[in-house]
């Protein structure tokens, strides 16, 4: 073998040894990568599980905070039994909003809290006027019955058993009408007050009393109810 042939043979043998070493090194690297991948997968699984647990914990905490710190919002009449009842005539009563509307054939109808009789103490309620028409707002006692023929106009204040204010015609009503008070308009709020201890009935308009000609409407001999009284309103359509 010439020197050139010998060097060529040595070079060839060296390349084969390097290839074998690289192959062994690649196998080792592949095995390391596989082991590393196995470790990474386990870590990823653990990380994912930890994240899921953390998210579950946060969601649970959020729900707890919402239920404890943010009480459920409800309409103010959702669990309240509507106290307004028909007394005479025909009308429509919304049990959720307490909005009351006269019907075309209802005549001069009356509604009220007839089942809630007040016999002592000081009481107050408000009525928002949605149409500035003929209404009589006030109080009626146990003997008030309106009239079975409501078109005759027997309403709150028309007889001896009830007391009312009429801001459309500017009257106070108790058996007869007496000019009194201020004229109301659509959207005004009428306040109706009764003191069953001192026997006084008063009215306000949008929170104002004597300063605008409202205030005490009935007292003394002018307010002698039979038993207790209840809130009562009469109106046409």
Which pLDDT tens digit goes with each residue over 105-137? 777 889 999 989 999 999 999 999 998 888 999
Q: Residue 110 class from Cβ within 10 Å (0-12 exposed, 13-18 middle, 19+ buried)?
A: buried
Q: 67 — phi, psi (to 5°)?
A: -70, -30
Whether 186 has a pLDDT exceeding 70, the answer reads: yes
- Give the count of beta carbons closer than 10 Å to the beta carbon of residue 132: 14
Q: Residue 54 class from Cβ within 10 Å (0-12 exposed, 13-18 middle, 19+ buried)?
A: exposed
Q: 63 — phi, psi (to 5°)?
A: -65, -40
pLDDT of residue 79: 72
- What is the pLDDT averaged over residues 142-171? 85
| Mean pLDDT for all residues in the chain | 77
Q: In angstroms, rounded to a whole number, what is the distance separating the alpha carbons of residues 206 and 211?
A: 12
Whether 144 has a pLDDT exceeding 50, the answer reads: yes
Whether 171 has a pLDDT exceeding 90, the answer reads: yes
Report CA dihedral (213, 214, 220, 221) to the nearest 10 degrees. Answer: 80
Beta bridge mates, 174 = 176
**195-229 pLDDT, tens digit each:** 999 999 999 999 999 999 999 999 999 999 998 99
For the chain, give the percent of residues with pLDDT over 90: 46
Q: Would you say domain 85-235 falls under CATH 2.60.120.920? A: yes
- What is the pLDDT averaged over residues 25-50? 50
pLDDT of residue 17: 57
Tokens of 160: 């001896």
- What is the pLDDT averaged over residues 21-50? 50
Report how far Cα 204 is from the mean position of its chain's Cα atoms. Answer: 27
Q: Residue 168 class from Cβ within 10 Å (0-12 exposed, 13-18 middle, 19+ buried)?
A: middle
Give the end-to-end CA distance of the chain in Å, rounded to a whole number.
130
């Amino acid at each position: 073998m010439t020197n050139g042939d010998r060097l060529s043979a040595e070079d060839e043998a060296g390349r084969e040894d390097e290839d074998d070493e690289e192959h062994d090194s690649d196998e080792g690297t592949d095995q390391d990568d596989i082991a590393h991948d196995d470790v990474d997968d386990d870590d990823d699984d653990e990380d994912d599980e930890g994240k899921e647990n953390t998210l579950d914990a946060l969601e649970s905490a959020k729900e707890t905070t919402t239920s404890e710190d943010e009480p459920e919002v409800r309409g103010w009449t959702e669990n309240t039994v509507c106290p307004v009842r028909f007394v005479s005539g025909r009308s429509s009563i919304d049990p959720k909003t307490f909005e009351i509307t006269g019907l075309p054939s209802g005549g001069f109808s009356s509604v009220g809290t007839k089942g809630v009789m007040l016999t002592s103490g000081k009481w107050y309620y408000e009525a928002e006027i949605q149409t500035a028409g003929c209404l009589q707002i006030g109080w009626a006692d146990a003997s008030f019955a309106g009239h079975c023929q409501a078109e005759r106009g027997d309403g709150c204040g028309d007889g001896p058993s009830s007391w009312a204010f009429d801001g459309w015609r500017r009257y106070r009503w108790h058996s007869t009408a007496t000019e009194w008070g201020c004229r109301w308009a659509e959207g005004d709020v009428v306040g109706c007050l009764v003191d069953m201890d001192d026997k006084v009935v008063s009215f306000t308009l949008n929170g104002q009393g004597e300063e605008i000609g409202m205030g005490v409407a009935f007292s003394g001999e002018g307010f002698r109810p039979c038993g207790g009284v209840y809130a009562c309103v009469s109106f046409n359509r």
